[in-house]
Amino acid sequence: MAAKVTTNQSTVNDGSGLLTTESELNPKLSSKKRLSSSSNTLATSSLLSPTGLTSLISFVVLTCAYISGFMSRLFSVIRFESIIHEFDPWFNYRSTAYMTENGFYNFLNWFDELAWYPLGRIVGGTVYPGLMVTSGVIHWFLHMINIPIHIREICVFLAPFFSGLTALATYLLTKELWSKRAGLFAAAFIAIAPGYSSRSVAGSYDNEGIAIFALMFTYFLWIRSVKTGSVFWSSCTALSYFYMVSAWGGYVFIINLIPVHVFVLLVLRRYSLRLYVSYSTFFILGLILSMQIPFVGFQPVRTSEHMLAAGVFALIQAYAFIEYLYAKLPRAGDLKQLFFGLMIMIGLGVLAVVVLLTYTGYIAPWSGRFYSLWDTNYAKIHIPIIASVSEHQPTTWTSFFFDLHLLICLFPVGAWFCIRELNDERVFIVLYAVFASYFAGVMIRLMLTLTPCVCVLAAIALSKTLDYYADTETSDMNSSPVVTTNGEDESDNESETNEKNNRNLYDKAGKSKTVTGRRGPSNGTPDGDDDANIVSSNIKTIVVICIAMMLMLLAVHCTWVTSNAYSSPSIVLASYNNDGSRYIIDDFREAYYWLRKNTPERARVMSWWDYGYQIAGMGNRTVLVDNNTWNNSHIALVGKAMSSNETEAYKIMTMLDVDYILVIFGGMIGYSGDDINKFLWMVRIAEGEHPKDIREQDYFTESGEFRVDRSGSPVLLNCLMYKLCYYRFGELQTDFRSPPGFDRTRHVEIGNKNFDLQHVEEAYTTEHWIVRIYKVKKLSNRLQAKNALRQVQRRKSIYASTKKTGQARKAGVILNKPQIKKGTKVTRK
Amino acid sequence: MSQLGQVVGILRKLNEEYQISTPKKLKLIDAYLVYVLLTGIIQFAYCLLVGTFPFNSFLSGFISTVGCFILAASLRIQLNKANQSTFNVTPERAFADFVFAHIILHLVVMNFIG
């Protein structure tokens, strides 16, 4: 604390923004006493010391960030109920529930018979267990201290809980990169940024909720270990990387970004022994730790995605060795050329080895999921399942602004500041920014990996700006911060956070004039920093006010976006009546509950793969295909069944042993996420495997349109999906102005009404006709041959001739037939 | 031929330099490094000859040797007085970190070796 002694001319700034001077004569001031100038009536008492105040402010800001991040994700819990959202989280929830009931080892060895009906699914080997283990540990711990919370509540609230931890990790990372002040900004930004909160609202129990925390924490530990070169921090990085590998498939991003960072540092001539120690330790421990996850298995030594890390590892070993020899040699200067040449040759050699191994097949080439990030047309042609997911579509520029608002504008500024004042760590964040921007442009889903980087760099930009503009005092002045602790109001948090970071912590704009006025006399005195007073303090104040207003707008926008766009559970729909009251549409759960209660326990349900996890989770029935989409041929079979006419589909369904079919139909209420809208993807996927039976062109009209009304293609109007969706819909008149059978989603009157189903019968339709369940009829006892000529079997007549002479039918004989001669009279004999 | 002579000369000079300037502690670590390297080479040669059947066991053993090599090399770097400026860590702390990393490494190796 006594280290706050300053010299005459310079000032010491610490994180709390206090300027201590020693215009007084005695340099050995106890730091407990702070000097206040006569004009400053806000002098603090002797209880507050500079570093104490710093840590208090940091603590308060971080707590506010944690709480605001947690709260802003709770909209759907407050509006609806505490329920698991969407599709994927239902599987995660089901496996977590299984794990808490049956124990960890049974979970690792679990073979799920309820999924992928004839095939089953080896859950232990095809899932990233980090999420389930995290919830399981929290559950176990809470039950151990006798707080019996149900596992569902833990799962629902896990993501908001971890979002607060992500804010802490981002604070630590930015503190390593720049300063504590920027760290506090970054924590506040990531707590509310919609790009992150979209995937981590309460109820969204998915891998990304904990993976972003693991990502930020690993990066923080990596930067720390590069800065210190300590084996301890590198081992911690490896352990955090292990947690990330267990949590998300996006760990590939870490294991490629860190080697790129090391490689770029080598190229930029920033090699140091710290880099060698930290990367080698991290790589080798991380490698063997990552192979402990069954899903990852031997991939880190066998696939191209991990080869960059190994290549850079080999390269840095060679570099370190040659550098060591180089340092030992007395005539070092002459051999510089040799050194560089040798390094380049070794680099090329490593590359050649990797390419050779890939060619000969020892190393698998880039998998489809990652290759489609490079060649964006690949998925559309070869892997239609990847192309059909809406999250994998390219990003529009509006979604950048929608998800990040002000931060995306500050982001290049922060990157520029980092480039201008470059050191080893800032190379990393710049590389992260470059690669994350590219990936975010390729796929909407990857906006999530861009968001933390944007928050960090925007915080750096803002912090550097405010360092200059918020400093409206000269160096001779003392100031004391006014610590305002208005309650933890969610809407005020951003302005509070901002204000705490200003050097002048004033509440209203009106006060600033008097504050400046009070400091008026001292403005004339010269101070040490030349450029601190180029801009007068009035303008600086105005700039700070403008920044504060923009930040308040950011907070409002983020909350609005989270509330309106990202908080719907998608399993419960809400609409609003004319008088504004809310009307809940709960058809999905109604249908799944019906399935659970009214079907035999081992019944098999066929539906499109989107709903597989929900049916298995809520309906507890066996499904044929689900969201895991690991078996494309099976999905193609289901697609073929849905696209064929009823008889063909019946054959496939008996082959697959299906008992019930479930379709989603939105035509009655105008729900646009139904199966008819997804139908073309079913056709495309089926066509990929059965090109002779299904052709996409058949389902369009001659002019190439997809229509369900009378002019639609007859193949479409007779396929199973159409019939299942529109069965009895022709009788329904939704609105007195429109004809019966008017599809509200496609806005047309359907073409094929009043048909009968032959091989299936309707089992259940929900209240708003959203979910329709059909039972597959068994083969009938008596085969009816339609339109066949009735063949009546006659018994052989006893009067018929038994002689088997001649095949041709003998003409019948009339006994005593009179012979008739034309023209003569018949004479009777 | 003169180039070969040059290379031999350089190597001899390196050897002299090494013998003179390195303290005994570091030479001990160097000997350990050579030993670990030999172990790794033997394991890899065995794998090439006999095949990779229990692949996880091979990987576990090989990575164990590489890990020991890296950790010992890091320890040597951190103990070297010439690098004091870059590292700022006491020898005791360096050794403690070494032990910590080794605990993690061997726990994982034991788990993976099957």
Taking the Cβ of residue A332 and every Cβ of chain B, the question of whether any pair is shorter than 8 Å is answered with: no
Identify all chain B residues contacting A229, using CB atoms and an 8 Å cutoff. Answer: 78, 86-87, 89
A281 compared with A730, residue with greater pLDDT: A281
- Give the model confidence (pLDDT) of A62-86 as tens digits: 999 999 999 999 999 998 889 999 8
- Please tell me the predicted confidence (pLDDT) of residue B6: 83
- Statement: residue B33 has pLDDT above 80: yes
Identify all chain A residues contacting B93, using CB atoms and an 8 Å cutoff. Answer: 230
Q: How far apart are alpha carbons A223 and A609 in whole angstroms?
A: 42
In the A/B pair of chains, how many CB contacts fall below 8 A? Answer: 93
For chain B, the domain total comes to: 1
- Statement: residue A13 has pLDDT above 50: no
Most A-contacting residue of B6, B59, B74 (CB-CB within 10 A), to test interface: B74
- Please tell me the predicted confidence (pLDDT) of residue A800: 62
Distance in Å, alpha carbon of B98 to nearest chain A alpha carbon: 7
Taking the Cβ of residue A409 and every Cβ of chain B, the question of whether any pair is shorter than 8 Å is answered with: no
Q: How far apart are alpha carbons A244 and A55 in whole angstroms?
A: 30
pLDDT band of A510, cuts 50, 70, 90: very low
Chain-centroid distance, C-alpha B68: 6
Dihedral sign for Cα atoms in the order A293, A294, A297, A303: negative
Closest of A143, A185, A102 to residue A461, by C-alpha: A185
Taking the Cβ of residue A231 and every Cβ of chain B, the question of whether any pair is shorter than 8 Å is answered with: yes
Helix (H, G, I), strand (E, B) or coil at A630: coil
Distance in Å, alpha carbon of A545 to nearest chain B alpha carbon: 43
Q: How far apart are alpha carbons A179 and A171 in whole angstroms?
A: 9
- Statement: residue A825 has pLDDT above 80: no
- Statement: residue A21 has pLDDT above 60: no
| Domain ranges across chain A | 583-776
| Contact between A300 and B56 (Cβ < 8 Å) | no
> What DSSP element (H or E) covers A772?
strand A771-776
- Topology classification of domain A583-776: Rossmann fold (3.40.50)
A369 compared with A6, residue with greater pLDDT: A369
Q: How far apart are alpha carbons A157 and A138 in whole angstroms?
A: 11
In a domain, B79, yes or no: yes
The answer to whether the Cβ–Cβ distance between B97 and A229 falls below 8 Å is no
Alpha helices by DSSP H, A268-396: 273-290, 299-302, 307-328, 336-360, 368-374, 378-382, 384-388
Q: Give the strand pairing for A622-623 and A582-585.
A: unpaired
pLDDT band of A807, cuts 50, 70, 90: low
In a domain, B12, yes or no: no
| Contact between A547 and A554 (Cβ < 8 Å) | no
Nearest CA in chain A to B10: A329
- Give the model confidence (pLDDT) of A584-622 as tens digits: 899 999 999 999 999 999 999 999 998 999 999 999 999
- Position A36, amino acid: S
pLDDT band of A790, cuts 50, 70, 90: low
A471: exposed, middle or buried (C-beta count within 10 Å: 0-12, 13-18, 19+)?
buried
Tell me which residue range forms the domain holding B88: 24-113
- Give the model confidence (pLDDT) of A252-261 as tens digits: 999 999 999 9
Longest dimension (CA), chain B: 53
- Please tell me the predicted confidence (pLDDT) of residue A507: 43
Helix-strand-coil split of chain A, %, nearest 5: 55, 5, 40
Alpha helices by DSSP H, A389-446: 397-404, 406-420, 424-442
Its pTM stands at 0.81
Which whole number is the average pLDDT over A31-46?
46
In a domain, B11, yes or no: no
A9: exposed, middle or buried (C-beta count within 10 Å: 0-12, 13-18, 19+)?
exposed
- Statement: residue A766 has pLDDT above 60: yes
Which whole number is the average pLDDT over A692-711?
86
Give chain B's contact residues with A (Cβ, < 8 Å): 10, 13-14, 17-18, 21, 55-56, 59-60, 63-64, 66-67, 70-71, 73-75, 77-78, 83, 86-89, 93-94, 96-98, 100-101, 104-105, 108-109, 111-112
- Please tell me the predicted confidence (pLDDT) of residue B11: 83
A566 compared with A2, residue with greater pLDDT: A566
In a domain, B43, yes or no: yes
| Contact between A503 and A17 (Cβ < 8 Å) | yes
Kindly report the average pLDDT of chain B as a whole number.
90
A238 compared with A801, residue with greater pLDDT: A238
pLDDT band of A34, cuts 50, 70, 90: very low
- Please tell me the predicted confidence (pLDDT) of residue A801: 60
A788 compared with A148, residue with greater pLDDT: A148
Q: How far apart are alpha carbons A254 and A218 in whole angstroms?
A: 8
- Please tell me the predicted confidence (pLDDT) of residue A826: 64
The separation between the first and the last C-alpha atoms of chain A, rounded to the nearest angstrom, is 154
- Please tell me the predicted confidence (pLDDT) of residue B3: 79
- Give the model confidence (pLDDT) of A741-761 as tens digits: 888 888 888 888 888 888 899
- Statement: residue A17 has pLDDT above 60: no
- Please tell me the predicted confidence (pLDDT) of residue A257: 95
In a domain, B84, yes or no: yes
* CA neighbours closer than 13 Å in the CB half-sphere of residue A399: 21
Phi, then psi, of A437 in degrees rounded to 5: -65, -40
In a domain, B41, yes or no: yes
> What DSSP element (H or E) covers A125?
helix A123-126
| Contact between A550 and A406 (Cβ < 8 Å) | yes
| Contact between A504 and A479 (Cβ < 8 Å) | yes
Sheet with A622-623, side-by-side order of all strands? A622-623, A604-606, A660-664, A771-776, A760-765
Minimum mean pLDDT range among A124-128, A188-192, A225-229, A528-532: A528-532
- Statement: residue B78 has pLDDT above 60: yes
Which whole number is the average pLDDT over A647-660?
91
| Contact between A491 and A218 (Cβ < 8 Å) | no
Taking the Cβ of residue A438 and every Cβ of chain B, the question of whether any pair is shorter than 8 Å is answered with: no
A337: exposed, middle or buried (C-beta count within 10 Å: 0-12, 13-18, 19+)?
exposed
The answer to whether the Cβ–Cβ distance between B105 and A298 falls below 8 Å is no
pLDDT band of A787, cuts 50, 70, 90: low
pLDDT band of A16, cuts 50, 70, 90: very low
Buried b / exposed e over A691-702, threshold 16 CB at 10 Å, is: eeebeeeebbee
Taking the Cβ of residue A338 and every Cβ of chain B, the question of whether any pair is shorter than 8 Å is answered with: no
- Please tell me the predicted confidence (pLDDT) of residue A788: 62
pLDDT band of A390, cuts 50, 70, 90: confident
pLDDT band of A802, cuts 50, 70, 90: low
Alpha-carbon separation of residue A583 from A504, A574, A577, A580, B35 (angstroms): 49, 6, 7, 9, 75
The answer to whether the Cβ–Cβ distance between B77 and A289 falls below 8 Å is no
What ipTM was reported for this prediction? 0.94
Closest of A316, A445, A385 to residue A627, by C-alpha: A385
Chain-centroid distance, C-alpha A266: 33
Which whole number is the average pLDDT over B4-31?
86
Minimum mean pLDDT range among A25-34, A147-156, A426-435, A567-576: A25-34
In a domain, B8, yes or no: no
Kindly report the average pLDDT of chain A as a whole number.
82
